[in-house]
Structure 1
């Protein structure tokens, strides 16, 4: 599938597992943390995430923040309008069970020739603050139009590599406590294979998800040097991991269907 990287200011492995200005970035994925926001996370348990603070001497550990969210998405973005979302379908994956389930999303590319050149993205997002746990597992990705145009079960990707592979991309947006976007970045462009943002993992699949799965979670290294992101206790870190393609004339009038297997990782672990 054809990919097109776009430079723009927009857009744990195992439960033991960075931040700066973006470089050679792709279009943001239309962040959901704020109206008009711009904006793509594994390991056992799906990411590291802090435990919400430690206790004083002789005390007990603090409660986690319990406010992480996650979703699967398919959306279009307008590169001539600061990559604002022009259409989308989103499924919440925050409160999935620990059993695998199949999710299906769809998005119609309306019969509007002005949509040619827009960006189609499909993938996964997490939103977390103050080191809150945020991991969710995904597998058996499929995009159809209605013929299948992309599939990925992650089994043949290099689990020892530095990136997920197959042109999976990422973008992180940081919002303040009232939902105003502060900045975004994607150092390296391609989605990393742990210890932050995303990772290939094993041992989390059922009969149709083995041997490897994708875990998506937050960037817990964001952003210590400036005391922002997870390091100030109030910012929201929106992490997107996704595939993208440019809409061509033949796509106009087509309905794209994005299907994926998903199950809960460690998102909001220990919360009521």
Structure 2
């Protein structure tokens, strides 16, 4: 019987050493980008609380999406006339998902604590990750995350989850799940960040009917400057970082890193908004993080 012999590279092989170093550098780059994206999203959301309270989630979402789209379009200069039907379809659906995710999330944190909103929203990508797994595992991790959300919803004295706020966070979760599926297609169909630029433009148009009602009151120079900074912090920087990070990391590593998002959201809520968690709520956050990491590892 013939045997296939695979030669192992010598420890001192300069080619093998260079390749190993390049892989490690790529993984480190992707990890750093992913962590920066998570921090940008959660602290950006926490810092947006006052302006959302003053001007409402619809105008805030519309203006920051519009500003992010304008900034990115000026940088990448998307070749609009060269896109085919598949590219336009992807940009359209991804933009709708972004609009729904952004608007619902900011509307939810106006009503419920940031940590709870992020945990509920995270059920969307968790459902996407568990789809196609065996029946037992498909149920186990989402149920663990749901248990975490229930623990997060009680502060030891009363339930903190406003019904409308919970439903809005769940809507953001649906948008996030769709965003993950469609973002993969955008990375394949469009060069560079052109797909992201087009999708942000679509998202701004989708938010315009509700956002334009109160947007004019945000045209004061100081408010506009603040909104520009927030638009860069969220959504421009994290979306761009995630797209680049996915080129350096395997899907499993990216998913496990993103599972830190509920924990970072809780930290941001505490540091910026003074939203203190009880020990049981901290345990609930741990359940959501563990469920996300577990379903990602199991899916691989």
Instruction: Give TM class, smaller chain.
Output: under 0.3
Which structure has greater strand proportion?
A: 1
Q: Point out which structure has higher relative CO (alpha carbons under 8 A, 6+ apart).
A: 2
Q: Which has the larger radius of gyration?
A: 2
Structure 1 or 2: more helix by fraction: 2
- TM-score using structure 1 length: 0.26
Relative to the length of structure 2, the TM-score reads 0.24
